Structure 1
């Protein structure tokens, strides 16, 4: 799908660019050709008004003069009967017999101006008080200039298209990269969610089959309780997973308007630390605090409470026994900095870079409860508050989750 989208983008882009460039280069070429033709017409008009002949190299019909000027021209004056009365040449000399051939060709054309292709000459017929004058201009150079203009325009068009095609390939990859990443994440999300949803449902269905079998065998009612308890446990896990998935879906809606108030993070962190003391005690872990007083932020209290709960639960869950989980909160440079650290197993940068991915669970965390959605939810909450969150692990295995959120 992504490849088709990329190809479609390139085709549409290149089609539009091809049309635009064709109009631009075609317009420039037409303007240049028209300008060159107009220049020839002006030279013809000047030749028809030129009175002083010049001594120049001999002209041969149909061939460019050996030493010609861009304005190589000559004018023949005719009386009322069509006889040549005067011949004015500029930049080259021409014989009377050659001029008579040209006048005959002009007469056959029956047009006041035009081109004699056989001789590569442009002509202009003008009426004078004494009769008629016919001016001729060599157009070898004019035609060479027009051909050069067409070739240069065509080459420029093709080179521009080639360069823009390369740029379009890069832009197509750059534009579709976020879509491709989102598509891949969605596929992984669906696959992982399907697995985590399927497991508890399988257990519940298996428990129901066992209970049905026991009822048919008239087993003692007390033996059914363990299957009921197992089903309840799996159903609760399923409920937690669905709630977390729904929260992620809600957080993914970037258009949602957060209901914000002034939240005292100092009180909120102290409150949640106290709430997690019993869980920490069960795991033989102590909770340490370094909380600045009255750190207030404008945000959504429900989401910020959930953020702290996720980070504390994660710290306690993956901390080694007899090691503290430390919470630190301070305001610095108009920013709120929340950091929660715990002593765990050493993780490399590759592992920590994946911690916020949905359903991601490192090898050391697969033996613990959870679905791998908590840190993904935490990251989305931080983003909604225009902040950043990162995980760092030192060489001793101390991992720290740091949240930085602007105060306003």
Structure 2
């Protein structure tokens, strides 16, 4: 599919460029031809006028080293005989007779005669006092050769440019296909991972419903275990769906941020407070350090969401007896928030991927999550013109660091 699309883009670009070159070459050629014809006609009228007025009584043979328009003339008697001709005429009497007959046959005062593989332009004078007609001919071989050389140069240049444009179009199409292929692959992975994340709770819900419906005579109290399982999995599904919708709106730039000035240290305490009981239940030490009030301009709710995501991950992968430390500092116009846990850590290979959607380096570390939280956190921090990074010493600690302006 992508190869066909790449070829299609290349051909479209090459075709457009070819048409542009074709129009340019055609326009240049015909413009040059019109200019040469115009100059030739202007010069022919002047030469004929000088011949009729007597300023020119002959046209001598021009040396080969002086290229230019080749004019010669003949005078025709009332009986159609050639009475005079310029000395530079290289044509035989028979050829001149054919040319004069063709010119006299034409009712127009000027025209073009093709004879013997040569193109001649002619211009006829009015009948003189002695009833003679002067016909001025121009051998157009030199001009046609110039036009042919120009046309050949334009065609060769056009073919070279067409080849280069094809290669350039292929290169650009290949460059353009890179993001498309990446987006397509991300979409396929996204759909596959989303289906996987939703399939598991759906299967659990279906299984528990089968158990409940298989015992229609039982009371609600006796079925509480299965109903509680259904409730928990429904909540997990709702959380996954909410995360998917958030990221979908973020990708389409439809996830608004309600920014205003707020106390970041107060927001941090409010976000940490709900996790204190959960940390105590798991016998995890949770400490918060924020020595100075810090004001920040941003979306308070989304910043709290980032803190909640980091704390939720930290509590889920920190064993009993472990510790979690949160530090908020301000220095050099930068605000730094760090969340450090004493869990099992993350291997170096996974550190570069943990912010990817659905990526889970270890199901035990992200137990209870779908692998979307850190992707959401990264988007929120990025939209606040900040950065989020992670460092880890496996078996010792993991540190998530957020830098905000």
Q: TM-score, normalised by structure 1?
A: 0.81
Name 1:302's counterpart in structure 2.
301
Name 2:402's counterpart in structure 1.
403
Q: Indicate if the aligned counterparts of 1:273 and 1:287 stay in contact, CA closer than 8 A.
A: no
Q: Indicate if the aligned counterparts of 2:13 and 2:169 stay in contact, CA closer than 8 A.
A: yes
Name 2:105's counterpart in structure 1.
108
The equivalences for 1:1-400 within 5 A come to 6=6, 9-48=9-48, 49=50, 51=56, 53=58, 56=61, 69-90=67-88, 98-119=95-116, 120=118, 121-127=120-126, 129-130=128-129, 131-215=132-216, 224-291=223-290, 293-319=292-318, 324-332=323-331, 334-343=333-342, 344-348=344-348, 350-363=349-362, 365=364, 368-393=367-392, 398-400=397-399
Q: 1:288 to 1:225 in 2, by over 3 A?
A: closer
Hey, what's the Cα distance between the residues in 2 that align with 1:288 and 1:72? 102
Hey, what's the Cα distance between the residues in 1 that align with 2:383 and 2:70? 77
Hey, what's the Cα distance between the residues in 1 that align with 2:91 and 2:7? 63
* Offset at residue 285 of structure 1 (A): 4.0
For structure 2, list consecutive stretches of 5 or more residues without a partner in the other structure.
Answer: none
Hey, what's the Cα distance between the residues in 1 that align with 2:205 and 2:315? 29
Q: 1:359 to 1:36 in 2, by over 3 A?
A: same
Q: 1:69 to 1:222 in 2, by over 3 A?
A: closer
Q: 1:86 to 1:402 in 2, by over 3 A?
A: farther
SS at match of 2:125: strand
* Offset at residue 164 of structure 1 (A): 2.8
* Offset at residue 227 of structure 1 (A): 2.6
Provide the aligned C-alpha RMSD in A.
3.5
* Offset at residue 289 of structure 1 (A): 4.1
Q: Indicate if the aligned counterparts of 1:335 and 1:405 stay in contact, CA closer than 8 A.
A: yes
Q: Indicate if the aligned counterparts of 1:200 and 1:234 stay in contact, CA closer than 8 A.
A: yes
* Offset at residue 362 of structure 1 (A): 0.5
* Offset at residue 305 of structure 1 (A): 0.8
Residues 306-354 of structure 1: CA distance to partner in whole angstroms, max 9, x if unpaired?
1111122223333466654343334455444333334543422x42232
Q: Indicate if the aligned counterparts of 2:316 and 2:366 stay in contact, CA closer than 8 A.
A: no
Q: Indicate if the aligned counterparts of 1:74 and 1:87 stay in contact, CA closer than 8 A.
A: yes
Report how many aligned residue pairs link the two structures. 395
Hey, what's the Cα distance between the residues in 2 that align with 1:367 and 1:69? 88
Q: 1:196 to 1:155 in 2, by over 3 A?
A: same
Q: 1:253 to 1:95 in 2, by over 3 A?
A: closer
Hey, what's the Cα distance between the residues in 1 that align with 2:231 and 2:95? 114
Q: Indicate if the aligned counterparts of 2:60 and 2:86 stay in contact, CA closer than 8 A.
A: no
* Offset at residue 73 of structure 1 (A): 2.2
Q: 1:359 to 1:346 in 2, by over 3 A?
A: closer
